[in-house]
Amino acid sequence: MTRSPADPACRAWLEVDLAGLTRNAERVADHVAPARLVPMVKADAYGLGAIAVARTLDRLEPYAFGVATPREGAELRRGGIERRIVVFAPSAAAEASELLEAGLDGAALSLDSLRKLAARARAEAGRIAVHLEVDTGMGRAGLPAAAAADWAPEVASVLSGGGVSLASVYTHFHSAGTDAAVTRGQLARLRAAVTRLEAAGVDVPLLHAANSDAAMGDRQYHLDLVRVGIYLYGGRRGTEIAGAPADPEGVARVRARVLEVRDLAPGSTVSYGAMYTTSGAERLATLGIGYADGLAWRLSNRGRALVRGIRVPIRGGVCMDVTSVDVSAVSGVEPSDVVTLLGRDGAEEITLAEVAAAAGTIEYEVLTAIGRRLPRCYAGGPDHAAEGSR
């Protein structure tokens, strides 16, 4: 049974601010209009809970929700999401039946995958709406933009054979927010490929390319749809852009309880490998959270926490289940006190960007690494509840 954070026996948990999530989405929607949103809720909405997030954002009437696998899409269907769901990384040969069963759109990542999706759909007397990826520089998937003259007639032939219908054509920007010239070049290659498709007789209903960074950038990148992800959840990695929405609100807050408070003498060692040695008398609090919960080991001797709104350092190595912080500067800390590892406590905030920088990683990894044994707790939306579903 999942415990509520109100229960002192709950060691650690993740709080998700659905009202903040909504405000972030509204900022993007206002900025990119008339383009429509495709909120990316893959990887369990970047670790925050896909069903709760999708139910919240569904009220904004996005074009679709984006996931990576049919299983993720089917989970949303079981959670009551009826809106269009696009699976952006399907295995065409193995998963076409799952797309049909759950009523999901699929991405065609190559000419071969488009053919296989069409063949499987025809075999099952069904039809799959497909989103055709064009590779303009990402290099991992998609029909190569430079060879569009060769593959455009083949795409037209497959579409005319039934089983699939074209819902959109898209690409992935690899340096939006950091290299405007490169991003403009990718956009030009996408448009050139679309011109080839149209010359081959293919009607392209919708065009999209923008991730969060591009969505916050120049309007030329917005096209018909924007696939917004990390911005919704409180992250922003790109450069400052005039006229872009304000920085997003923090949506996630990771909290843990103090298990023990210990007074250590000068010269005492802390954690595995004696990674830290006290230089004087120090008071350390042992927290009920570790790297098995998603607190990166790389935060050892580098990360920070908030105790009663005061910043304190992590001491020693982050362990699998517990972590020590120095509370010498905070009076009256006791077992069961609540400590914040990500998010706001009073006037202070540990941001997603700060945690990522301290851990030497990216904001996406910080969120998606949050462990499944942490209850997800929601506030400020249709899934407002004392605890999550896990």
Backbone angles phi, psi at 94, to 5 degrees: -95, -25
Confidence of residue 275 (pLDDT cuts 50, 70, 90): very high
Per annotation, catalytic residue among 63, 231, 272, 291: 272
Domain residue limits at 128: 34-233
Q: Percentage of the chain surpassing pLDDT 70?
A: 93
pLDDT at 94: 73
272 and 361 in a single domain? The answer is: yes
Residue 381 has pLDDT above 80, yes or no: no
201 and 265 in a single domain? The answer is: no
Confidence of residue 386 (pLDDT cuts 50, 70, 90): very low
270 and 351 in a single domain? The answer is: yes
Per annotation, catalytic residue among 42, 63, 221, 276: 42
Tokens of 390: 């896990």
Q: CA-CA distance, 134 to 108, in Å (whole number)?
A: 9
Does 233 qualify as catalytic in the annotation? Answer: no
pLDDT at 208: 98
Does 364 qualify as catalytic in the annotation? Answer: no
Q: CA-CA distance, 339 to 286, in Å (whole number)?
A: 10
Tell which residue, 53, 103, 46, 48, has the closest CA to residue 74: 103
262 and 221 in a single domain? The answer is: no
136 and 40 in a single domain? The answer is: yes
- Give the residue-averaged pLDDT of 169-174: 97
Question: Which residues, 6 or more positions from 358, have their beta carbon under 8 angstroms from its beta carbon?
Answer: 298, 299, 302, 303, 304
pLDDT at 244: 65
182 and 280 in a single domain? The answer is: no
Confidence of residue 385 (pLDDT cuts 50, 70, 90): very low
Count of domains observed in the chain: 2
- First-to-last C-alpha distance (Å) of the chain: 9
**Could you report the per-residue pLDDT of 31-79, keeping only the tens digit for each?**
999 999 999 999 999 999 999 999 999 999 999 999 999 999 999 999 9
Confidence of residue 90 (pLDDT cuts 50, 70, 90): confident
In a domain, 274, yes or no: yes
Which of 233, 261, 288 terminates a domain? The answer is: 233
Using the structure block, give the residue that is written with the tokens 């070049």: 185
CB–CB of 97/72 below 8 Å?
A: no
In a domain, 388, yes or no: no
CATH number of the domain residue 339 falls in: 2.40.37.10
CB–CB of 359/296 below 8 Å?
A: yes
226 and 280 in a single domain? The answer is: no
Residue 176 has pLDDT above 70, yes or no: yes
CATH number of the domain residue 107 falls in: 3.20.20.10
Q: CA-CA distance, 195 to 170, in Å (whole number)?
A: 13
Q: CA-CA distance, 242 to 220, in Å (whole number)?
A: 14
